[in-house]
Amino acid sequence: MNMKRITILFVCLFGVLGCGYCQEKRLYDHYYLTMKAIKEDNLSDFENNVKHIKNIDSLFHTDTDYSYTLLGYACLYQNKRFIQRLIGMKANMECVYSDDMYCYDALYMAIDKGNSELVKLFLSLGANPNEAYNEDGLCPLAMSCNTNNFPVACLLLQYGAKANGLGNLGGDYITYPLIIAVDKNNINMVKVLLKYGARTKVRDKSGISPLIIARRHKNVEMIKLLERSR
């Protein structure tokens, strides 16, 4: 009799575990199929699967070292239609992508892709133009300077990005957009940063200033511009 009860107990236990596994697999399948629909721009498949996902802001591991929310995945493929659909579903823009060290917002992904249209969309929806992406002061404006994306830099400055960056956040380095722009020899970027109040006398933790970099590059036009702005 006891053996029979034990057998029944194990059958019930495995049944519960099996049911839990099936539910988890179905949820995984819905995530996978929703992401597939985003990648293939298939609205019908998207709608058929996303309705089964309770938390659209969950980070989902792909076959890479990165994880994305559904909004992050839509940003990855720069699919504006699905981005707008997910935002309409109240998707969180603040954490859409993770590299296991940091979590990044939708604005980060738009800048990383160089998509000024999406940058403008996220800024208009309240994305923070002064978000700190690491302890060294990486921010949206610094990213745009790193990629020499002048239109994106202008958008960020128009929406309140700090021309001098975020300052010392306690990391090993201090990131200054102006220093990056000078190092990239991007005279137009430097001009717009100066227009919005970037200081020419800033120095990084190694004591390097924008003028020192310009002189190293022997960029006469840049040197004159910085000297006039001191």
Q: Using the predicted structure, report yes or no on whether residue 222 has a pLDDT greater than 80.
A: yes
For 30-53, how does the pLDDT look when each residue is reduced to its tens digit (9 = 90+)?
Answer: 999 999 999 999 999 999 999 999
Q: How confident is the model at residue 230 (pLDDT cuts 50, 70, 90)?
A: confident
Assigned token pair, 109: 């992904």
Q: Which pLDDT value is given to residue 28?
A: 60
**What pLDDT does residue 61 have?**
82
Domain boundaries, the chain: 23-127, 130-230
| Mean pLDDT computed over every residue of the chain | 90
- The pLDDT value recorded for residue 20 is 44
For residue 5, pLDDT over 80 is answered with no
The runs of H, that is alpha helices, within 55-173 are 70-76, 80-88, 106-112, 116-124, 140-146, 150-158
Fold of 130-230: 1.25.40
Tokens in use for 33? 């199929």
Q: The pTM is what?
A: 0.86
Q: SS3 breakdown of the chain: % helix, strand, coil, rounded to 5?
A: 55, 5, 40
Within 13 Å, how many C-alpha atoms sit on residue 30's CB side?
Answer: 17
Question: Fold identical between 23-127 and 130-230?
Answer: yes
Domain range 23-127, CATH class: mainly alpha
Residue 117 corresponds to which tokens in the numbers above? 């249209």
